[in-house]
Structure 1
Amino acid sequence: MNLPAHSALFTPSWHAELELGYGRFGDTTRPVQRLHKGPLRVQKHLYAEGPQVCQHIIVHPPGGIAGGDRLDIAVSVGENAWAQLTSPGAAKWYRAAGPAYQQLDLKVAAGGTLEWLPQETIVFSAAKADLTTRIELEGDARLCYWDAVALGRPASAERFDLGHFQARLDIRRDGRLLWHERQRIEGNDGLLDSPIGLDGHSVFATLLITGEVDTELLERCRELPGPVRGDLSQLTGLVVARCLAHEALHARAWLIAVWKLLRPALLGREALAPRIWST
């Protein structure tokens, strides 16, 4: 059967949207909004730490992101509410002829707390991944945000030789810019092996948490053992932690270890790892 000429130009793609809202009612944080379109969901909300912290696991049923796909996620945390969001596994960006997109819009009202703690992002060689994240904090709102990105699949002898990874991240408090970052890595980019780039590592990770800590705690974080190159910086109102690794599991373990040290000091609660991370 001969297909019409335009059929060759058609590439199936998903456009998925998820909008979440959280409010504080007495001692409990509850979901107050949950809208979705397309293959993007959250599982039942959990209270592993008690009623103050509402945990949701964001699920993308297709399991991967291909050319033309677009994920739009908006999260709003109300006054004095606390939401913790994570994922059941790695996000995979597949090789594709065209770009795929993810946009996050995260807002936290005064007194609120948001922890954005997804598992790693794996960008296959020849993928074209464009990610944009905008975070708005009001008053004394608190944030813990991390991401870990693995370029290529070294275990399958796949180097990131084609495609690109592009990410934009802006964090503002009351409209004032706290953090502004732009990343773009092309396939086979010189930065992959340069000592001023990834220096031969295929994985890089960042943790950003609001607040300020003393030098002793920073040194404890810097001295964490493990097969990663990691360090921390204290900026005005923001702690920045970064690492380079050869495996995503090593980077994730380092992020969790840093989070376990910083969370009690800056968010006032002991760190309890979500059970989904162990499955």
Structure 2
Amino acid sequence: MFETPNGSSTWTDGNARSAHSILRDADLERASGVGRIVFDGGKRAARVVNIYEKFPTRIMFPQISDDTAREAVLVNAAGGVTGGDRFDLDISAIGDARVAVTTQAAEKVYRALDEPARVSTRLKIRDTAKLAWLPQETIIFDRARIRRQIEIDLHSGTELMALEWLVLGRAAHAEEIRSGHIRDSWFVRRDGRLIWADSFFVSDCTFPHLSRKSLLSDRRTIGTLIYFGLDLDRRLETLRDAVQSQQCDTAVTMVGGLIVVRLASRGSSDLRGALTKMLHHFARELGPGPFRVPKMWSC
């Protein structure tokens, strides 16, 4: 026990810092979740041939009526993400596997003290596999700090759809983000060659200016969806048709043999509605498979 300048006493241990020391994220217990799945498939539905999970990451496989594609659901048992947390996810689809992967609920990134949370996702697709990475939204709270990176390894003959979307404060709760740190990066490789890289970066000094028309204007929810597969010209027109009547800002283009869709809206419900309509439209075009609205989105 030591005495503070005002005469009060404070308990401490042998590794004590002064009474005026600043608490850091590294001083607190933080999550370190890991999830790895390998799917293989032939004429029947995809099967799990390898799986590993480390708390607080959990992987569930709900029963769905359609057996043309397997659906996996990721659960963060910690209830959210905060500074200093680390989450690593590795998903592989080989053979003729048809797999959709989503999340149980919207992920929430809470206030950090001084360190960013780090979230890494790696998607690997081989042979004639089809993989849909369709998580629910990530909600960013004031003073949150996160560095998220998604790496995708494609091969000719595979098919992929991948989505990430951010909600910068919940409009229904009148939440405002005044500071924080967000770095959201994509790296896509085809047959080992980088074909697309993208990064969204916002720091403490940037948040006060996001409402400018040259930046996000009054849009609080932004998303990126990419597609790779066969007959890209036809798929490009399908997606352009699907976004014409949406209640949010959208743009569709093709870069390096990859279709890229950008979405922005004032509220998360508008963007969710746009994504739902787009996926329904796309599913009608492609037929049975993983490229559709995940069942978990309606739970």
- Tell me the TM-score normalised to structure 1 length: 0.91
Assess, with a 3 A threshold, how the Cα gap between structure 1 residues 64 and 138 changes in structure 2: closer, same or farther.
Answer: same
Confirm or deny: 8 A CA contact 2:239 2:278 kept in the other structure: no
Find 1:213's aligned residue among 215, 233, 258. 233
Q: Which residue of the partner structure matches residue 96 of structure 1?
A: 112
Tell which structure's C-alpha radius of gyration is larger: 2
Cα distance, 1:19 vs. partner? 0.5
Q: Measure the CA separation in 2 of the matches of 1:273 and 1:109.
A: 23
Q: In angstroms, what is the RMSD of aligned CA positions?
A: 2.2
Residue in 2 that maps onto 1:259: 279
CA contact 1:105–1:134 (8 Å) conserved in 2? yes
Moved more, 30-39 or 115-124: 30-39
Indicate which of 28, 51, 70 corresponds to 1:34. 51
Aligned residues: 277
Deviations 1:91-137 (A, max 9, x none): 00000112111000110002011100000000111000110111101
State the secondary structure of the residue aligned to 2:46.
strand
Report the equivalent of 1:18: 35
SS of structure 2 residue aligned to 1:162: coil
- The answer as to whether partners of 1:170 and 1:179 remain within 8 angstroms in 2 is yes
Q: Report 1:81-120 matches (<5 A).
A: 81-97=97-113, 98-120=115-137
In the alignment, structure 1 residue 223 sits paired with structure 2 residue 239: no
User: Which range moved further: 9-18 or 67-76?
Assistant: 9-18
Residue number in structure 1 paired with 2:5: none
Q: How far did 1:207 drift? A: 1.0
Evaluate the alpha carbon distance shift between residue 189 and residue 171 of structure 1 in structure 2; reply closer, same or farther with a 3 A threshold: same
**How many Å apart are 1:236 and its aligned residue?**
4.4
In structure 2, distance between residues paired with 1:140 and 1:274: 23
1:161 corresponds in structure 2 to: 178
Equivalent position of 1:277 in the other structure: 297
Judged with a 3 Å threshold, the aligned counterparts in structure 2 of structure 1 residues 178 and 191 are, in CA distance, closer, same or farther, namely farther
Asked if 1:198 corresponds to 2:216, the answer is yes
Letter in 2 for 1:222: V
CA 1:246–1:197 in structure 2 vs 1: closer, same or farther (change >3 Å)?
same
CA distance in 2, matches of 1:275, 1:108: 22
Alpha-carbon distance in 2 for matches of 1:268, 1:134: 26
Bigger Cα displacement from structure 2, 121-130 vs 238-247: 238-247
The equivalent of 1:145 in structure 2 is 162
1:2 aligns with 2:23: no
- Is the Cα–Cα contact under 8 Å of residues 98 and 130 in structure 2 kept in the other structure? yes
Which 5+ residue runs of structure 1 have no aligned equivalent? Answer: none
Alignment-mate amino acid for residue 11 of structure 2: N
- The answer to whether the 8 A contact 1:110-1:137 is kept is no
1:216 Cα deviation from its structure 2 partner: 4.9
Instruction: Specify the alignment match of 1:75 in structure 2.
Output: 91
Could you list the runs of 5+ residues in structure 2 that have no partner in the other structure? 1-9
Give the match for residue 123 of structure 1. 140
- In structure 2, the CA distance between the partners of 1:207 and 1:266, relative to structure 1 (3 Å rule), is farther
Contact 2:131–2:290 (8 Å) recurs in 1 = no
Distance of 2:294 and 2:242 partners within structure 1? 21
Moved more, 79-88 or 235-244: 235-244
**CA deviation profile, 1:113-172 (whole Å, cap 9, x unmatched):** 110000000011100011011110122111100111011233222212111111110111
Deviation at 1:225, TM superposition (A): 3.3
TM-aligned CA distance change 1:57 to 1:219, over 3 Å: closer
Provide the C-alpha distance between the structure 1 equivalents of 2:246 and 2:124, rounded to a whole number of angstroms.
Answer: 34
Counterpart code for 2:224 = T
SS at match of 2:172: helix
Whole-Å Cα distance in 2 between the matches of residues 275 and 45 of structure 1? 9
On the 8 A contact 2:243/2:274 being kept in 1, the answer is: no
C-alpha contact 1:23 1:31 (8 A) present in aligned 2 = yes
CA distance in 2, matches of 1:234, 1:71: 31
Match of 2:74 among 22, 40, 58: 58
- Residue matched to 2:6: none
Q: Quick one: which of 221, 229, 233 aligns to 2:253?
A: 233
Q: Is contact 1:77–1:113 with CA below 8 Å preserved after alignment?
A: yes
* Partner of residue 177, structure 1: 194
Cα distance in 2, alignment partners of residues 94 and 60 from structure 1 = 14
